[in-house]
Amino acid sequence: MKLSPSAWLGLGMLAVYLLAGLLGPVIAPYDLGQQHVELAHQFERASAAHWLGTDASGRDALSQLLWGARQALVLSAVVVAISSAIGLLLGTVAGWFGGWVDELVMRVVDILMAFPGILLNIAIVATVARPGIGLTIGALCANGWVGYARVARGQVLALRERDYVTAAVALGAGNRRVMVRHLLPNLLGPAMVQMSFGLGAVIIVEASLAFLGIGPQLDYTWGAMLDQARNYLWNSDWARLYAAVPGLAITWVVLGANLLGDGLRDRLDPRQRGKA
């Protein structure tokens, strides 16, 4: 597939993120589970022992960043996979059957889109005192599927009028066969674009929940790193630089996902191919 230079740049940025998530715990200088709290080394500057300095507890910031990449990768991949599967299924069913099925699915989509997504995520996660990764994934999937459903429904409404779909129905193909063999394969392109944008959105929301202290109770998520740094921003110069580390990591992933998503959209949209 021929992509624009910006799309290749985004793909490269996401590849770095993927490698950091997969290899982070292996290449991290320190094992966070074995590091002890050492307040005497709180927010130390970068050194040969700690390339990015230390945090409020005296632990290695680079190790936290790499372990946080693993956490973000697992959570974002699971949320995007579940959300896309639910959204594509419901959107395809709604667009194909129409009638009350379409009306029911799209009214649910409208309700969820009208309600601020981050508030819904907070409301779900805040139901327990110490939310785990499973509850956080469920909260992000609760409204994460709506974008995929809208895209799938719109595509199916157009595809159902195509000649090859009409021919398949005329030859006796059942609803399931038509959806699986003829509709879903044609949804993969738009779904890939939506998944790319969704990846960046999940990273931001997960970091926001952790920053607010209502996400998984882990010290090495990027949001948790931002949270502990904000209490020392005016007391330590290095705390400000420490806060920039996860902030830049989040920016890197979101920018890479958006660049790739824009490139895929321009490539897969027939109206944009002549402009690429």
pLDDT (tens digit, 9 = 90+) per residue, 176-219?
888 888 888 888 888 999 999 999 999 999 888 888 888 776 66
- Domain ranges within the chain, ordered by starting residue: 5-18+55-275
Percent of the chain predicted with pLDDT > 90 = 35
CATH number of 5-18+55-275: 1.10.3720.10
pLDDT (tens digit, 9 = 90+) per residue, 7-26?
899 999 999 999 999 998 88
Q: What is the pTM of this model?
A: 0.87
- DSSP per-residue string spanning the chain: ----HHHHHHHHHHHHHHHHHHHHHHH-SS-TTTPPP-GGGTTPPP-SS-TT-B-TTS-BHHHHHHHHHHHHHHHHHHHHHHHHHHHHHHHHHHHHH-HHHHHHHHHHHHHHHHS-HHHHHHHHHTTSSS--HHHHHHHHHHHHTHHHHHHHHHHHHHHTTSHHHHHHHHTT--HHHHIIIIIGGGGHHHHHHHHHHHHHHHHHHHHHHHHTT-S---TTSHHHHHHHHHTTTTT-HHHHHHHHHHHHHHHHHHHHHHHHHHHHHHHH-TTTGGG-
Tell me what pLDDT residue 141 has: 93
